Amino acid sequence: MNIYEEIGLERVINASGRVTVLGVSTISEKVAEAAVAGGQSYVVMDDLIDKAGEIISRYTGAEDSCPTVCASAAIAISIAGLISKGKKSVMDRLPDSTGLPNEIILQKGHVINFNAPIETMIRLGGGVPVEAGTATEVVEADVEEAITDKTVALLYVKSHHCVQKGMLDLPTMIDIAHRNQLPLLVDAAAEEDFRKYIAMGADLVFYSGAKALEATTSGFVTGRKDLIAYAKKQYKGIGRAMKAGKEGIMGLLAALEQYEHKDRQAEVEKNIGIVNYLCGEINQIPGLRAEMIQDEAGRAIYRARVFVEPDKAGMTATELDARLKEGNPTIRCRTEFMSLGKLDFDPRPLVAGDKELIVEKLRRIMEA
């Protein structure tokens, strides 16, 4: 029995991935110990934020970094920093940025919802989102012609939620931004390479701590020293409502050190083994078909996709998902393609015994 069952909640088998609605990820003993130790002592928070930024930057290759409570908070305080440039009179009235340069341009296919709209995070920082192009095609002129004297930055979103075709690639967006003397921001919340986008020329990059890193609830922004300085100042402005705690920051730093020495290829191979098991077993269940698929954004993440054809399964994918959620434990899978008759099972969060329980429950549902 886990700690959540002890307070009367159901056990969750997470086959959805490192998602916020299921608590994102689990933490190691090392990360937990660092968080506990951080919570048991006092520190000057400004000093901790500066030191943490210095340490984070060793792992990103950037000039400086700033810890945050999550990737969404990193977006909000960074945009507030770009608009205010650290000026107290502006910080004191944000997110009201009326009359100031405040527009953030992003491609229409990047206007995503990750259980909250990305536009909300922009607006929290006082930004005004400006969508360029259409949901299926964006050309350079769409972005270039959206730039005005009110533009403060261009934002590129790297996510499986984004439209994966017809969008401008990151090098092109960086080139447009820099030709126009504007910073290029990258939302890379769930990405696993913490150096890649800085090395490509991005000015600020936002990461989650609790996703690929499997840290405490946290995040960070990394990039240009001057822009990071503006972001840090927001902890005396809108950032006060989303302040990073000392225990979360110490857990984040421990997770970064742990991640640096992690055998990621071995983890990928382990996950592929789980996916192969799921596909092999599910393909023996009458009415269902499964195959391995790779993450839409190109990450080295592999999932078992289950195809649910109503005439063969006797139910829709929506109905099957509802049955999986029933009872204790509840099984949660990815449902982005549920309307197309597909359910995806992510192996990364599964613990010992989970994959067998998934197969057993699917078999029971189909037999019934």
Q: Which residues fall within 8 angstroms of residue 101, CB to CB, at 6 or more apart?
A: 83, 149, 150, 151, 152
pLDDT of res. 253: 98
Q: Which residues fall within 8 angstroms of residue 145, CB to CB, at 6 or more apart?
A: none
> Which pTM does this prediction carry?
0.92
Q: Is 116 helix (H, G, I), strand (E, B) or coil?
A: coil
pLDDT of res. 311: 93
Where are the CATH 3.40.640.10 domain residues in the chain? 43-260
Longest alpha-carbon distance in the chain: 66
Q: Is 334 helix (H, G, I), strand (E, B) or coil?
A: strand
For 10-147, where are the E strands, in sequence order? 12-15, 64-68, 103-107, 128-132
What tens digit of pLDDT does each residue of 223-272 get?
999 999 999 999 999 999 999 999 999 999 999 999 988 888 898 999 99
- Which CATH code of 3.40.640.10, 3.40.50.720, 3.10.310.10, 2.40.110.10 fits the domain covering 43-260? 3.40.640.10
Ranges in the chain, pLDDT < 70: none
Measured in degrees and rounded to the nearest 5, phi and psi for residue 226 equal -65, -40
- Binning the chain into helix, strand and coil, the percentages to the nearest 5 are 45, 20, 40
Q: Which of 353, 319, 350 is nearest to 335 (CA)?
A: 319
Cα distances (angstroms) measured from residue 45 to each of 37, 188, 196, 209, 250: 15, 26, 29, 19, 12
pLDDT of res. 141: 98
Query: What are 130's two structure tokens?
Result: 């400006």
CATH 3.40.50.150 fits 3-22+263-367, yes or no: no
pLDDT of res. 296: 79
Query: What are 83's two structure tokens?
Result: 């608009």
Q: Is 36 helix (H, G, I), strand (E, B) or coil?
A: helix
Torsion sign across C-alpha atoms 175, 178, 182, 184: positive
User: Given phi > 0 = left and psi -120 to 50 = alpha, else beta, which region is 4?
Assistant: alpha
Label each residue of 276-311 as H, E or C.
HHHHHHHCCCCCEEEEEEECCCCCCCEEEEEEECHH
